[in-house]
Homo-oligomer: A and B are copies of this chain.
Amino acid sequence: MDPESRGGAGESRPRERADAARNRRAILDATAALLAEHGAGAVTMERVAAAAGVGKGTVFHRFGSRAGLLDEMISEMARTLRQAVTDGPPPLGPGAPPGDRLRAFLDAFAHMIADNVELVTAYRSMPPHPQRDEMHAFWGAHLTALLAEVRPDLDAEIVGSLLLAPLGGDLLPQMVRAGQRERLFAAYRQVVDSILPR
């Protein structure tokens, strides 16, 4: 009997929650695998369900739609970096000098996008989402605060946006797909190093 269809009484609840969490994880992992292996075109609710070993209804029940599923993938990706920034070990997390934190953040951001190129590309073609704005505001504030400490002579807010912008365009996906990931990271570091004093 499907635990999700049971009444909510007594000891079945923890089991429901454990099943739900397991399903959620299986669906997100299956989506990630489909994206990595076959690109965004392969991500349909049917294929995700089949790859996760759950019913299609379960995927719809949890995520509402393909857009909802991709939203959750992006959120999880962004939450991981955000947590590392607010609570993780230095230099990404608190405790390191601002220049080191800034380098670590931009490097981690570039890697996050490169590791999720198919997801990010698919997500970009979707309609805007309030949660996306909130996330951008967080990255922007973090970058601005650090940059203002290290280079008080600059317009930290706009220079911060200019530094993030190249990671949001077509260049990064193109280079990652062409196997030039490391070359991109190295060139990006050269730009960042030019702006931050050693």
Contacts and interface: CB of A to CB of B under 8 A. Distances in A.
Interface string A149-185: 0000111001101110110110100010000000110
Q: Interface majority SS on A: helix, strand, loop or mixed?
A: helix
Identical chains bound together, number: 2
A190 interface: yes
A11 to B, nearest CB: 52
Contacts of A154: 187, 190
Contacts of A188: 162
A191 B183 contact: no
A130 B158 CA distance: 33
Given A191-B195, A194-B195, A195-B194, A162 B155 contact: no
A191 to B, nearest CB: 5
Nearest to A162: B166
A187 B162 CA distance: 8
Interface of A: 153-155, 158-159, 161-163, 165-166, 168-169, 171, 175, 183-184, 186-188, 190-191, 194-195
A187 B171 contact: no
Contacts of A187: 154-155, 158-159, 162
Nearest to A155: B187
Contacts of A175: 158
A161 B155 contact: no
Contacts of A163: 191
A135 to B, nearest CB: 15
Contact of A165 (B153, B169, B186): B169
24 contacts: A153-B190, A154-B187, A155-B186, A155-B190, A158-B184, A158-B187, A159-B187, A159-B190, A159-B191, A161-B171, A162-B171, A162-B188, A162-B191, A163-B191, A165-B165, A165-B166, A165-B171, A166-B166, A168-B169, A169-B169, A191-B195, A194-B194, A194-B195, A195-B195
